[in-house]
């Protein structure tokens, strides 16, 4: 009987460790998706306001917080990554639509991932309760 409890505790510990690793991986994915959502949102907002740029002058981000002042040659067309690192020229309105659709897909992925994280968390709570019950039985019958 004591051996069965010990085996169950070991099984629970192993299962809990796997769920913890899965949860950590899902949290990392969630962080990446959220960063992409933020980038797409910024791109949409910028494109929607591009015609408001005075004299077509904009700040062009270079990375690491560095920017340069630049003049837009064409405010009606956008070069857009359409997948597999293929860049295509799209009219401004179409580019905004594509990005908005991309945003919806990303938000759906984020929501499903959050649901998965919640399920993992619930299962970890169940395993914790199960382990505590076994430990109480073990402690009371030694």
| Residue 84 exposed, middle or buried by CB count within 10 Å (0-12, 13-18, 19+) | exposed
CA 119 – CA 121 distance, rounded (Å):
5
Mean pLDDT, to the nearest integer, of 33-50?
A: 93
Quickly list DSSP for 104-130: HHHHHHHHHHHHHHHHHHHHHHHHHHH
Statement: residue 1 has pLDDT above 70? no
Read off φ and ψ for residue 79, nearest 5 degrees. Answer: -90, 125
Nearest Cα neighbor of 93 from 43, 47, 53, 58 is: 47
What's the confidence (pLDDT) of residue 141? 59
CA distance 15 to 47: 48
* pTM of the predicted structure, to 2 decimals: 0.81
Residue 50: CB atoms within 10 A of its CB come to 16
pLDDT in tens, 8-40: 889 999 999 999 999 999 999 999 999 999 999
Look at residue 83 and tell me whether its pLDDT is greater than 80: yes
Render pLDDT for 95-137 as a digit per residue (tens, 0 to 9): 999 999 999 999 999 999 999 999 999 999 999 999 999 888 8
Segment 55-65, tens digit of pLDDT: 888 888 888 88
Q: Are 96 and 43 in contact (CB under 8 A)?
A: no
Q: Which of 35, 33, 39, 43 is nearest to 107 (CA)?
A: 33
Alpha helices in 49-91, H assignment, sequence order:
none
CA proximity to 44, closest of 2, 1, 126, 107: 107
Does domain 2-140 match CATH 1.10.287.370? Answer: yes
Supply the Cα-derived Rg of the chain in whole angstroms: 25
């Amino acid at each position: 009987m004591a051996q069965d409890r010990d085996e169950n505790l070991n099984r629970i510990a192993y299962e809990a460790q796997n769920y913890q690793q899965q949860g950590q991986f899902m949290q990392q994915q969630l962080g990446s998706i959220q960063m992409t959502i933020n980038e797409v949102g910024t791109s949409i907002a910028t494109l929607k306001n591009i015609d408001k740029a005075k004299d077509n002058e904009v700040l062009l981000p270079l990375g690491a917080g560095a920017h340069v002042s630049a003049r837009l040659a064409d405010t009606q067309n956008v070069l857009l990554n359409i997948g597999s690192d293929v860049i295509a020229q799209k009219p401004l309105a179409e580019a905004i639509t594509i990005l908005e659709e991309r945003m919806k897909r990303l938000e759906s992925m984020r929501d499903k991932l959050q649901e998965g994280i919640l399920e993992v968390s619930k299962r970890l709570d169940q395993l914790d309760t199960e382990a505590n019950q076994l430990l109480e039985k073990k402690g009371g019958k030694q």
